[in-house]
Structure 1
Amino acid sequence: MKTFYSPIKKTPFYNFSQCFFFLVLLWSLPVISQKVQQKKLTVDDYHLWSDLQIKDLSENGEWVSYTLYYESGLDTLFVKNTMNKKHFHFPKGYNGSYSKAGWFAVRNPKGLCLIHLKSGKQQQIDNVTSYAFSGNGTELIYCTKQSGDSKLEVLRLGSEIVVSVAGVKQFKMDNCKEKIVFNSVTKDLSTVEIISFGKNFKRETVLKETKATYHGFEWNTNDDGIAFFKKMETFKNRENNTVILYDLKTKMRYELDGSSFPNFPKDGAIVPFGMYKLTLSDDLDKVFFAVDFPTKPTNPKVQLWAGNAPWIYPQEQVWATNNTARMAVWFPQEDRFQMLTSEEHPWIMFTGDFNYAIVANPKMYEPQFEVGNGPMDFYLLDLRSGKKDLFLEKQSSYILATIPSPKGNYIAYFRDADWWVYDIKNKLHKNITGNLPTQFESEAIDRPIERTAVGCPGWTRNDETIVLYDRNDIWEINPLTGKSIRLTHGKENNIQFRFKLQHTSFYGKENYNGWLSTIVDLDDDVMLNGLSKDGNLGVYSWSRNAAERKLFDSSKKISQLKQNGTVIICKEQSFDLPPRILISESGKKLKTVIQSNKQHWNYQWPMLKEIAYKDSKGNELKGFLCYPSDYDSSKKYPMVVHIYEKQFNDRHNYINPSNHSDVGFNVIDFNADGYFVFFPDIKYEIGNLGFSAVDCTVAGTKAVIDLGLIDKHRIGLIGHSFGGYETDFIITQTHLFKAAVAGSAATDMRSFYLSYNWNSGTPDMWRFEHHQWRMGMSYFNNKMGYELNSPLNQAEKINTPLLAWAGNQDKQVNWLQSIDFYLALRRLGKKQVLLLYENEGHSLKQKENQLDLGRRIKQWFDYFLKEEKNQGWIKESL
């Protein structure tokens, strides 16, 4: 690049225009210089990039911890002061946590690093296997293991070790973090103890020097009772336990003796079993656990696929393998035992007070082809009387459609586009949303699927009111009177208000096979997310007195919101802005605390342009176009079109450059190598998904061609999974694309319809009739539609060279679909290559395979779109 300047004549008085021009040049030179100095991004630079993830915010909001993840595995955990530049870093650190007393602990390969955040004083404790801070933050409790010897120690922070117990492998802290329970083993003798912290620091013996071993400790929510397993001798080659309950108030200990109950299964063994975890009720009246049964022997020489079976043979085997146990309850004070689930009703969840179990049979309405799991009849089992009553018939099995309340008074369920409440005490059903002038059902999408509830965040204290979402707002409804209040004003402003999610995608918690609502506190200020119609996310504060008040918003992507007191932090990113951590204190303007990947600005980076276009039916669609990093408007470039349903909402994702993608494609890698990459949205017509993909993809691609940026003769197409199917089909209908890549693709809709998912054993028919494959009816009712939308049936029309790939252990889309298409193209004499990766699934997990696939995909497009014909494996394969 030439630098132009204007010489200044030596005269007594400077010409003002010349002087001004000179100053402008001086001001602009650093900018020009900076632009010139930006380096071209190469593979050798990729290792510099990291992925930023917020971990935690201290209780006073003064410190934030976060981790930078690198492809090399050299991850680092940081702790930074949100008010100044003070920070600490811990290479390969993980599982960090704060103490209320100003300490921070983090696991590392050697053990545990402990640091006092104010003074910076550090202490390394080696061989730590687990740890926790006490509730007041003055003690650190940890277990260590070295040379086979384990022990538990309690460190008074800033002082000395006050407890050391040999032979302890793990401990269980109570909910308030004021007590721990553990089992110590010395000379083959076990002791169970409780240690209480705080002013009344003490040790209490529950069991002393017995020859049994104890494990699986669980507290009740009141922290005044503990249940745990006592390991017995093996039973029919299986682990077997008994159960012990200890009451901290009465100091009473109860032990289950299964042999004393005539109704205890003779071939059953008490075990810790997955989601059937050991649980005790708050009143210590009941203890719940799993009883495992031996697997039924099958004939290894023949599989009997019964024509009238509710489930097909593979699905039955998956269920049988994962559900050998049944749920049981023990009443310690009454010395009574009862099995809860059975072959008739193997599905279970509980009311919030554990007075009732809700049981069902997932096979009840099978076979059916509408959803993956069919509807069920729900029965309410009174645990005290053992009486079982049907209360909900043919109800959706979706776990968020039937949810017990936290205190156990109600069961909320969504049915026929409305929320209903079942009053357990009075045995009454009530529609609580039917008279409200709004929609609590999710909006229609271009899938032939039954719509579900928008959502139920939970209940207020003591089950007084239920909190529900409509399509824009949050409602509070009294389940007895039906009185309703709309808490937010999203409908008027085209904003969708939702509570901020902390740790999961849903509100509530797992409830064995089902779900349990959480308690929503509406008495204090509540943080809300507000999503505007144009996609901007706002963060709001809400209270009963002041409704919603905007704290801040962003046109970029906001995620990982966390709040402690008046301090709010979040992660912000955009396509050309690496993730950064922002902070707002007491409603003040956001400021950057941490900026990741600062080297980003030293390199050429692609621009992004939003593209608006219409399909042939006039539907308005959007996509986004990523420019070559060193874009020169005087040149025409090749372009790769990436497809998979709707992608426009991904435009604000910051993508790290990488040649290790599990699907072999990284947009920044292609942009850095002189490619445009286009991500179009696709709108589907039910029963015509292949042609919909052609229509929308071609329309979007032509809209980009009209911009005059690319060479229309050098356009490639790529997709994976459903996008792989779309890629294969599109090239049967148009010659617009000069080369294509399809990964893990379904190619024959008839045979795919008549297949099953190897992970779940479930037939795939429902995916076609009511889900992603969007046919809307069975193959037998629309054979022509299935055939017309199958790439295999139109393979003879293909002129586009195709690189296909799959893993030979793909249990999501049968990899034989790729083989079938390969053989069809081979018979037709088409240009193609198939890459089949050993011991890989639907996407690639092995690093060397990711590297190989990414390299070959790039070379494939270079060969056809850049005329780089020096790739021997391609020449030899066509």
Structure 2
Amino acid sequence: MKPINQKEIHLPLSLAVVLALLFIFILPLVTCPLKGQVVQKKQLDFKDFNSLGELQLHKATPDTRWSSFSMHYKNGIDTLFLRSTSNKKEYFFPSGTNPDFLANTNFLYQKNAALHLVNLHTGAKQTIEHVLSYACSISFGQLIVLTKQNSPARKTLLILNKDGVIIQRIARAEQFKISPCSRKVVFTTMENGSYSLGIIELTNPITPHWILRKSSYSFKMLTWEKTARALCFIGSEASGSNKNSLFYYITKSKALFCMDPEKQIGFPPGHLLDSLGQYPLNISQDLKRVFFGLLKKTDPDPSFKKSNFGPEVELWNGNDKLIYPMQQRMGDFNKKTYLAVWTPFKEELAQISNQALPGVMLAGEQQYAVLSNPQSYEPQLEYSGPRDFYILDLNTGKKEVLLQNKAITPTEPMPGSSPGGKYITYSKQNDCWIYDLKSKTHLNITQSLRASLPDSLRDLHQDSYFRVAGWTPYDKQILLYDTYDIWIITPDGNSYRRITHGREKKIHFRIFESPLSDDLSNYEGWTHRTFNADKGLLLEAKGDDGKAGYFKWEAAIGEKPIVYKEAYTSELFVSQDQKSFIYREEQFNISPRIVLQKGKTSHVFFQSNPHQAQYNWGQSTLIAYQNLKGSKLQALLYYPVNYDPKKKYPMIVNVYEKQSSERYKYINPTLENEAGYNPTVLTNQGYFVLCPDIVSEKQNEGPSALDCTVAATKEIIARGLVYPDKIGIIGHSFGGFETCYIITHTSLYAAAVAGAAITDISSYYYTINWDTGRPTMNYFQSGQLKMERPPYEIPDIYDRNSPIVHAPKVTTPLLSYAGKKDNHVDWHQSVEFYLALRILGKKNVMLLYPQEAHTILDPQSQTDLTQRISQWFAYYLKDEKHADWIEKGTM
């Protein structure tokens, strides 16, 4: 073990820190058995849970020779690590946060308000106190830091080179913004009530260039054009008069333009510049336009009235497009921020979006705007209503219909813009469509693709829908995803090819996107990413059997695995030369670890929780089964610790749609669980845990859950693994609904737990999700319940799927729970079922947590819930009768 950095750990160490370091570094040495020696493993106890931490992989150097990661513990003793991937050199920093690398030379992290630098070559350490913010220049390996001294109160901007040497100080700095290409920095200063704004070229940071000096404006919303050719910002009068002006600066010509709303022709009366950033500033690619937000001056809220009797009252008008709480969350369109465009060279201004068409996205290299109104077809039953889309030519002001009555659903999202600006993409009825901005034509580019598929693939594609993954450079080809594979198609739809073989291998391929990828949001739409397929692609891969990993695709050889194994892999970092890879991997019984891979050679250079090897642990596997309709399905099965094939065990079935993909995920044992369920804890208590995949049917969610769950349970019984009369069932939210429905139709389960459950879908139809303000009716359309029609049209189908209608048939003792601040599923649904079972004389106990919402978040409440669920199942599945609250109702 390397010497502890005395600057980072102040002696004497607390006992908690000593224990944390003991678990990480010393135990692996003392627990290694001698040759031929057998070490007896221990049973994991509640008191051991807090010694198991959670691993978080952060970043790596561009050459992947160093990596940073953290271990987080329930007791709050968190540690940040810096470790070499090639030798045993390492550093650790208790309570360190915000790690980053400055090229391949320095490691940065924060602790409270101090920024620390560690030289990766020499180990030398440097500390910068009172840091407000910082940024790294990837291009030049420089560090930009804004600091603040408390006495006297002033800020200073520092620029450090790759060796940590300060090469520039700017006194009285207020803020800064590094350009996206990390070659320039814009900053502001304030002295004696006057403000200045300047630019530093990081190629020569010694001499800043001043754009404005000693101005009466303060500056905000500093915004770079992505190649740093221009910038824009808002200047606010220091007098607090709400007077704002928009500035635009071109770096090459050093031309500065200012738009004063009071003097600008065409500026809408009654509006202000949006200086709150609700709509970000944006500079067009041709540098001719600046896009900004318009905010209407506030007026009294017309929907909030004072009654004749004195108290204020909410006015819910049946003629409103949106119900009152939805209006509050989406914002009154009379007060909404609208998009406008300023053309500095022509001194022209035009409003783009408005009250009639408030939805906006830019397209065609910002030469066009796509407009829509989300309220056009309200009221309606989907989560988002269909829209009419219009395309506005910003050069001519001409507006034309683009799409009418376009559905907005998870499979048919908002239209997107190609990165080269030539096309607009959208989905319709599972196909991908393209609108050509030049020819003004629509084309279904996947229709001919489907028709040309061989018989072996056509059936598999019947239920597939295509969605956009990205484009190749200059909009030459579009990349699409189906259920398993990636396709490359020309925009005319005439040339297409499937570049992966996921369907044959039962592997789902997706293009890997770095966590450092830019945000491509485009106001209320998206600009798709560009991928250079000619240089190959990195792919994420997830198999139907639970395997996971990464592949490299090249046109000549197809996809070849970098790593693909019986493990869950994630958080990939790739070296600049794409020859080295760092990733995290785990299995249910192996705590997450960090792996370095070069070519086909890999090694683990950090193993979290090495002392886990001291304890007995369960195993996970997938089992195949069929439901009554003959559908071939999978279920995830966790084995109890110390499994003995000569014995039978109790089992708990967890239900929630499909869970087989979770096979290899490691789950730390803890009593602090949002839904009171933890398979690691349950397997440690001697249970099998079964998680069946449920194939749902429209208007038949309850019977579908019953069929699949019972079939999977009987498969395990038939294998002789469990006691048939000692099986429990548990579910939360939609899983709570499935649990309640199942126990109204079978006596197979000896005990049940249902959290935040929907129990009467007819009454639930007429509730509101108070988190979003939306009527819950959308949940019955494209949501999980899939009833498609309201209860007054098909009451028999609603009754067939509602647990409460079948409450008299319940024979299974039920523990239900809910939070009384649950805005997602009305907690009265749990109360209704409780009252129905109570009056029927059925055994049931309900737990209501007054301060909790849809999931239980307070650690004490989480622990209480987890322990009560454990006692509930022990009472009915293990005959442990010492929990008085179950039998006698005492706390």
Normalising by structure 2, we get a TM-score of 0.89
Change (3 A) 1:285 1:29: closer
Per the alignment, residue 188 of structure 1 pairs with 193
Change (3 A) 1:387 1:759: same
Per the alignment, residue 404 of structure 1 pairs with 417
Residues 204-228 of structure 1, C-alpha deviations (whole Å, 9 max, x = no match): 1111112321121010012021111
Q: Name the aligned partner's letter for residue 330 of structure 1.
A: W
Q: Name the aligned partner's letter for residue 694 of structure 2.
A: I
- Is 2:155 the counterpart of 1:150? yes
Question: Which of 225, 229, 233 is equivalent to 2:230?
Answer: 225
Per the alignment, residue 172 of structure 1 pairs with 177
Q: How is 1:157-556 mapped onto 2 (pairs within 5 angstroms)? A: 157-158=162-163, 160-199=165-204, 201-232=206-237, 241-261=244-264, 263-273=266-276, 276-293=279-296, 294=298, 296-300=301-305, 301-320=312-331, 324-351=336-363, 353-369=365-381, 371-398=382-409, 400=413, 402-437=415-450, 453-480=465-492, 482-491=494-503, 493-503=505-515, 509-532=520-543, 534-556=545-567
Residues 93-113 of structure 1, C-alpha deviations (whole Å, 9 max, x = no match): 222222225111112224211
Q: CA deviation at 1:78?
A: 2.0
Counterparts of 1:681 and 1:827, CA distance in 2: 34
Change (3 A) 1:472 1:743: closer
Counterparts of 2:847 and 2:485, CA distance in 1: 49
Residues 91-150 of structure 1, C-alpha deviations (whole Å, 9 max, x = no match): 222222222251111122242110111111111222212112233444321012242532
Change (3 A) 1:677 1:287: same
Question: Which of 631, 642, 647 is equivalent to 2:643?
Answer: 631
Q: How is 1:760-771 mapped onto 2 (pairs within 5 angstroms)? A: 760-771=772-783
Q: How is 1:779-858 mapped onto 2 (pairs within 5 angstroms)? A: 779-858=791-870
Question: Which of 22, 34, 39 is equivalent to 2:38?
Answer: 34
Contact preservation (8 Å) 2:569, 2:583: yes
Q: CA deviation at 1:721?
A: 0.2
Contact preservation (8 Å) 1:181, 1:194: yes
Change (3 A) 1:823 1:321: farther
Q: CA deviation at 1:682?
A: 1.9
Change (3 A) 1:326 1:537: same
Change (3 A) 1:265 1:725: same
Change (3 A) 1:234 1:614: farther
3-state SS of paired residue (1:549): strand
- Is 2:625 the counterpart of 1:613? yes
Q: How is 1:694-709 mapped onto 2 (pairs within 5 angstroms)? A: 694-709=706-721
Range moving further from structure 2, 626-635 or 416-425: 626-635
Residues 734-772 of structure 1, C-alpha deviations (whole Å, 9 max, x = no match): 222222211111111101112222122222223223331
Contact preservation (8 Å) 2:278, 2:293: no
Q: Name the aligned partner's letter for residue 524 of structure 1.
A: K
- Is 2:84 the counterpart of 1:81? yes
Per the alignment, residue 572 of structure 1 pairs with 585
Residues 512-536 of structure 1, C-alpha deviations (whole Å, 9 max, x = no match): 1111111111231322234455443
Q: CA deviation at 1:618?
A: 2.4
Change (3 A) 1:163 1:199: closer
Change (3 A) 1:378 1:321: closer
Range moving further from structure 2, 214-223 or 517-526: 517-526
Contact preservation (8 Å) 1:501, 1:507: no
Per the alignment, residue 595 of structure 1 pairs with 607
Change (3 A) 1:146 1:707: farther
Q: CA deviation at 1:345?
A: 0.4
Q: Name the aligned partner's letter for residue 477 of structure 1.
A: I
Change (3 A) 1:861 1:642: same
Change (3 A) 1:328 1:797: same
Q: CA deviation at 1:200?
A: 6.5
Residues 336-389 of structure 1, C-alpha deviations (whole Å, 9 max, x = no match): 2222111110101111511111110112222332x3112211111112222211
Contact preservation (8 Å) 2:60, 2:66: yes
Change (3 A) 1:35 1:637: farther
Per the alignment, residue 7 of structure 1 pairs with none
Listed as ranges, the gaps of 5+ residues in structure 1 are: 1-27, 445-449
Contact preservation (8 Å) 2:388, 2:406: yes
Q: Name the aligned partner's letter for residue 182 of structure 1.
A: F
Counterparts of 1:324 and 1:111, CA distance in 2: 40
Contact preservation (8 Å) 1:101, 1:137: no
Per the alignment, residue 862 of structure 1 pairs with 874
Per the alignment, residue 10 of structure 1 pairs with none
Q: Name the aligned partner's letter for residue 820 of structure 2.
A: N
Contact preservation (8 Å) 1:222, 1:282: no
Contact preservation (8 Å) 2:105, 2:163: no
Q: Name the aligned partner's letter for residue 181 of structure 2.
A: C
Counterparts of 1:666 and 1:336, CA distance in 2: 61
Contact preservation (8 Å) 2:235, 2:244: yes
- How many residues are aligned here? 838
Q: CA deviation at 1:656?
A: 0.5
Change (3 A) 1:475 1:616: closer
Question: Which of 110, 115, 132 is equivalent to 1:107?
Answer: 110
Per the alignment, residue 7 of structure 2 pairs with none
Q: CA deviation at 1:151?
A: 2.1
Per the alignment, residue 668 of structure 1 pairs with 680
Range moving further from structure 2, 188-197 or 486-495: 486-495
Residues 256-278 of structure 1, C-alpha deviations (whole Å, 9 max, x = no match): 11112454333322224555211
3-state SS of paired residue (2:245): strand
Counterparts of 1:558 and 1:160, CA distance in 2: 39
Counterparts of 2:263 and 2:33, CA distance in 1: 90
Contact preservation (8 Å) 1:145, 1:169: no
Q: CA deviation at 1:35?
A: 4.7
Counterparts of 1:755 and 1:103, CA distance in 2: 55
Counterparts of 1:224 and 1:405, CA distance in 2: 22
Q: CA deviation at 1:179?
A: 1.3
Counterparts of 2:222 and 2:61, CA distance in 1: 28
Counterparts of 2:319 and 2:239, CA distance in 1: 39
Q: Name the aligned partner's letter for residue 777 of structure 2.
A: M
3-state SS of paired residue (1:519): coil
Contact preservation (8 Å) 1:756, 1:764: yes
- Is 2:131 the counterpart of 1:131? no
3-state SS of paired residue (2:736): helix
Normalising by structure 1, we get a TM-score of 0.90
